[in-house]
Amino acid sequence: MKVRFFLFLFLFTNVCRGQLTPLNYKKDSLATLFDVKKFKKYNEDGEYEFYKEDSIAILQFIDEKGYIEWIFPKKSNIKTCNFFTKKGDIYRKVHYFQNFPIGKEYLFKKGKVYKQIDHDKDYKISIEDLQRIILQTFEVDIYFSKRDTPYYMEITRGSAEVYPKDWRYIYTIRFNILAEEELVHRIYYIDASSGNFLYKDEYGTQEDFFGRAKDLPKEKTAIPLRHYTKFEPL
């Protein structure tokens, strides 16, 4: 089941790239229902995939507590995950950008919100701010990277020791060129309070045996190099 889910997620994310309008997750409706009868009728091996009229893809499956529903809007790579009891009552709602939660997470009892978790509270630089920073620096839109780009982009965030005894909340943006093995990559580190680039790490860009470093996004402003790792082919 997990393999099928991640394959669905990968294919849908790639199909939806190049669209125009991101999901406004901050104004997402909290009124969510789960149709248990419909799921029991149409599911195959505990999973049900379908599309709504507005081209939103829905993936539902069974878990230990009840049901999980992933919602993938066609014009956004921000996705929503809803959790339901076995009776179909919602008890949790989370929005994700790539693989980390953003915005407010809602916990429910009897259909009403009783607790909110703010996943953005430690990040003065929002996902929307990050989008503008990356767009200005690399001409890459983190919402709508084109499907046919030669590189893979991964974004994460969290707390890290950026300098000795200096811990900060940061975003990391990783651009990879992959083949049978990783050929080259650059990783950029952005302070989540100021929005400033701290530095970058590189792998294999100087040797560039396969001539692929040129396919990585170009910096409009030079960013200092912290670590370099030499490429050693197998």
Nearest to 33 by CA among 90, 114, 87, 91: 90
pLDDT tens-digit series, residues 63-102: 999 999 999 877 677 889 999 999 999 999 999 998 899 9
Is the pLDDT reported for residue 143 higher than 50?
yes
Residue 3 confidence (pLDDT) above 50: no
**Tally of CB atoms within 10 A around 40:** 10
Q: Which two tokens stand for residue 138?
A: 């690399």
Among the ranges given (9-13, 27-31, 162-166, 224-228), the one the predictor scored with the smallest mean pLDDT: 9-13
Please give the single-letter amino acid code of residue 3.
Answer: V
CA-based radius of gyration for the chain? 20
Phi, psi of 166 (to 5 degrees): -120, 95
Q: Considering Cα of 171, then 97, then 81, then 122, what sign does the dihedral take? A: positive
Read off the amino acid at residue 136: Q
Contacts of 11 (CB under 8 A, 6+ apart): none
CA distance 119 to 218: 31
Confidence check: pLDDT of 191 > 90? yes
More confident residue, 29 or 193: 193
Query: Domain residues of the chain, as ranges?
Result: 2-118, 127-229
**Strand ordering across the sheet containing 182-191:** 152-163, 166-178, 182-191, 197-203, 225-229
Q: What distance in Å separates the CA atoms of residue 3 and residue 43, rounded to the nearest whole number?
A: 17
Which CA distances in Å does 186 have to 85, 137, 206, 210, 232?
Answer: 43, 14, 11, 16, 16
